[in-house]
Each structure stands twice: as structure tokens, then as C-alpha cells.
Amino acid sequence: MSVVMMLTTLFLLASSACKHEMAKAEHNNVTLGMVRDSLIRQEDTIVYSLIERARFPLNPPTYDPSYASIPGFSGSLLEFFVKQTEAVQAKAGRYDNPEEHPFFPDNLPPSLVPHYKYPEVLHPAAMSININKLIWDMYFNKLLPSFVSPGDDENYALTAARDLECLQAISRRIHYGKLVAEVKFRDERKDYEPAIRAQDRFTLTNLLTFTNVEEAVKKRVAKKAMTFGQEVKLGDDGDKGKYKVDPAIVSGLYADWVIPLTKEVEIDYLLRRLN
């Protein structure tokens, strides 16, 4: 069974708790189990983060530059919050981990903690791939208005914190495409190399697409939204059919954004894989 076929099968299986796998991959041995476990576990994090954002209504002033009017800062409270929080996290070493991608990478302060040398699993070209601008626009323009209630409860700082959790979870999942692509490339090098040399996006897309896997992922994340977003009561099974975030929204997030944007990252990575 090829690695890709195994991935296809294993994608469908549940995982045990995962660690951050790139960090643990010794001597470049990224295993299928690592990739599988992480992708499945990251679904849970995305669902939890959406449920937690949905505690608050839209809270439009969070995104309105004219509301914040912070001295010395031009932008919305959300932008202020994300930039400042990313600066703290950069100092704490978050972006030393190649799995983490800041939304505002310019002028980030350096890490202040001892440098940990993460194993070099990926081609160095991976460093230059960051599609967080696309993710940001998708999240605020499409996703957010679809799953929170309209309205304003004045909890803008808490709202911004929850938005950042969602953004970071979705960004990590999509950029994990670099590792997925690397594993697929190593297993099927003879198939990928000609397409990469020809810079042929169409063939690469076909090589990377497994419709049955994608369908299973969409179904599984909807099931997770139902399971994690239900009202848990003692003595019965809760309100059936009433969820904190609509499962169809989570399924649609994967169908319309997570899966296609992951593929975008995979292709961006593969096109540079032989540089």
C-alpha cells in the first residue's frame, strides 16, 4: 500500500492525542501517524475555537478603526490586539516553531527564549509561504458573519481574543499543508517531479486530490460540531438538533476554505520543492 493510499485510509480513523509533530520528528522521519493524528486533532481545536467565539455576538466596534482611536495606532481594536499579542508570543518563542505563522510578520520582535532547533523536515522554501492574508479576509468577510449572532454586548477585548484563537487554529491547519505535501512528495517522488519541473499546477492539483478523503473530512467535522457544540444535560441527551455552531457552517468552512487553501499551500510548497 502506498503512503498516499495509507494516508487516504488513515485519514478516516480517529487518532490518539497528538503532540506538535514537526517538533518531535527526529532525523526527518515524519511518520504517517504524526500527520494523521495532527490533522484530526486540529479539527477539534478549530471546532472548540468557533464555539467559543460564538459565545459573543458580532460586536462590530471590535473591527471599526473609528471606534478604537488608540493613541499612536491606526487601525481597529482587533488589529491592535492581534499585533500586540503576536509580539508577546514572538518574544515567548511561538514563531520559532515552523508550524506557526503570524498574521503580521513584519516588525515582529525576536524570540527572547533559548533557541530550540526544530528538525529540518521541510524544504527551506517553506519559510516563504504564508497565506494568512487570505485566511484573515476569509475569516472576517465570510466565516465570522455566518456563525455569530448579530449584536453588540460591548465585550470587545474578549471578542478579539476569541477571534485570534480561531485565526491561529485555522492558520495552523491550513499551513500544515506544507508537511502533508512533503510526505506525499517523498512517497510519490516519481509522480511529482515531472509536474514540479513543468510547474504544472493542474497535474499537481490532481495528484493531491482525494475526493473520498475530502468527503469524509467534511462529514467528520460536522459530527464534531454536533458532539462538541451540544447542550449537555444530566438525565437526557440534551436538545437534539440545537448546536452552539451550526455543523453545516463547519463542514462548509472545510469544503470552501480549509481544504482548498491547504491545497494552495501544498502546491505553493511543491512548486518550490526542487529549487
Q: Is 5 in the site for a copy of itself (CB under 8 A)?
A: no
Q: How far apart are CA 10 and CA 258, in angstroms?
A: 19
Residues 6+ apart with CB under 8 A from 195: 203, 204, 207, 270
* Contacting range for a copy of itself; rule: CB under 8 A; set: 28-36, 93-101, 190-198, 258-266: 93-101
Applying CB under 8 A, which of residues 25, 56, 177, 263 lies at the interface with a copy of itself?
A: 56
A 10 A CB-CB count for 114 gives 7
Q: How far apart are CA 193 and CA 196, in angstroms?
A: 5
Please state the closest distance from residue 193 (CB atom) to a copy of itself, in A.
33
- Taking the CA atoms of 129, 131, 132 and 135 in sequence, report the sign of the dihedral they define: negative
The mark string for 204-233 relative to a copy of itself (x by CB under 8 A, - otherwise) is ------------x--xx--xx--xx-xxxx
Applying CB under 8 A, which of residues 6, 8, 9, 23 lies at the interface with a copy of itself?
A: 23
Q: Is 240 in the site for a copy of itself (CB under 8 A)?
A: no
Please state the closest distance from residue 29 (CB atom) to a copy of itself, in A.
16
Containing 205, the helix (H) or strand (E) segment is helix 201-208
Indicate the burial class of 62 (C-beta count within 10 angstroms; 0-12, 13-18, 19 or more): buried
Q: How far apart are CA 99 and CA 65, in angstroms?
A: 30
Q: How far apart are CA 159 and CA 63, in angstroms?
A: 10
Applying CB under 8 A, which of residues 1, 114, 197, 241 lies at the interface with a copy of itself?
A: 114
Q: Is 107 in the site for a copy of itself (CB under 8 A)?
A: no
Please state the closest distance from residue 114 (CB atom) to a copy of itself, in A.
7
Could you list the residues that contact a copy of itself (CB under 8 A)? 12-20, 23-24, 41, 44-45, 48, 51-52, 54-57, 67-71, 77, 80-81, 84-85, 88-89, 91-94, 96-97, 100, 112-114, 116, 118, 149, 153-158, 160-161, 216, 219-220, 223-224, 227-228, 230-234, 238-239, 244
